[in-house]
A = this chain, B = another copy of it.
Amino acid sequence: MSAGASVSLHELNAFDRQRFVSTLGAIYENSPWVAEAAAADRPYSSLSALHERMSGVVLKADESRKLTLLNAHPDLAGKAARAGTLTAESEAEQKDAGLDRLSEKEFFEFHRLNETYRKKFGFPFIICVRRHSKDSLFRQFDLRTKNDQAVERNAALKEVIRIAALRLNQRVAGVDQLNVNGRLSTHVLDAYSGRPAQGVALELHELSQVGSDHLIVAGVTNIDGRTDGPLISGRPVPIGGYELRFALGDYFRRSGIILPDPPFLDKVPVRFSIADPESHYHVPLLATPWSYSIYRGS
């Protein structure tokens, strides 16, 4: 069964032990023993129950087994990634975080950080990359390398379980039972005309202090002043800095309003940060040609 395919909880409950383990063996990186231990307690009434059981297996394992689990993980942006020998899951996750597009300098910086970390703790730096921007990854590297052994071992296991939750959520079809995803959305209101602003071009950029900013998504507001779908959804919203850019001047000019040249407001940048990847961030813009408000809405 390929990494992309998904099964229902119902099917999982009915699988024979071997098929259950082969289906969920990769939830914990290179560690099918977690799925094996969980197979016996079927049926599971919910995805949460299954996740809780599997993470319980990990947390109750003895220290040497925990260490083995941690060491079953690849380096972040490491040689395995370059050599193409990652598991399908790790490859997708690292690629998603842009770790396959590192500059030579960034690659060596990650290498250096990995070495320092591994030397101090005896296992690779593990982090649920989907919850972080590149800047946030560097920052976590920095912060966590300062931890002591016991604190950091717990931190690493917590990340292992976060990775597993996301993999499980993706692997098992159905409603989003695990609350592992967040959402980022926007809405443009035209306070000049008292209606949703339709046709406002906008862009969402990820800001970076270590690398360069990059465009995540571009769109245009619909008749309700919203983009047709959320800007980010179906995944955690990576911790990091963002900028929404609204082409407000073009919108009002097209509305037939006579604006000064250049208009007082043209491209409106709204800069904000995400700290809680599993939350809904709604960032509406309420605007006239001469004023605007933004806020964290709901």
Interface residues of A (CB under 8 A from B): 187, 189, 191-196, 224-225, 239-241, 260-269, 271-276, 286, 288-298
Given A195-B298, A225-B298, A295-B191, CB of A262 within 8 Å of CB of B290: no
Contacts of A290 in B (CB 8 A): 191-194, 295-296
Distance between Cα atoms of A194 and B297 in the complex (Å): 7
Known: A260-B275, A262-B273, A273-B266. A293 touches B296 (CB 8 A): no
Which 10 residue pairs of A and B lie closest in terms of their CB atoms, listed nearest first?
Answer: A194-B290, A291-B295, A260-B275, A262-B273, A293-B293, A191-B291, A196-B298, A194-B296, A290-B296, A191-B288
Which residues of chain B are within 8 angstroms of A296 by Cβ–Cβ distance? 191, 194-195, 264, 290-291
Q: In the complex, which residue of chain B has the Cβ closest to the Cβ of A267?
A: B271
Query: Residues of B contacting A269 with CB < 8 Å?
Result: 269, 271
Give complex CA distance A191, B297 in Å.
Answer: 8
The docked-state distance in angstroms from the alpha carbon of A163 to that of B239 is 52
B268 touches A239 (CB 8 A): no
User: What's the number of copies of this chain in the assembled complex?
Assistant: 4
Contacts of A291 in B (CB 8 A): 191, 194, 286, 293-296
Query: A275 contacts which chain B residues (CB < 8 A)?
Result: 260-264
User: Which residues of chain B have C-beta atoms less than 8 A from A195's C-beta?
Assistant: 296, 298
B265 touches A272 (CB 8 A): yes
Residues of B within 8 A of A262 (CB): 239-241, 273-275
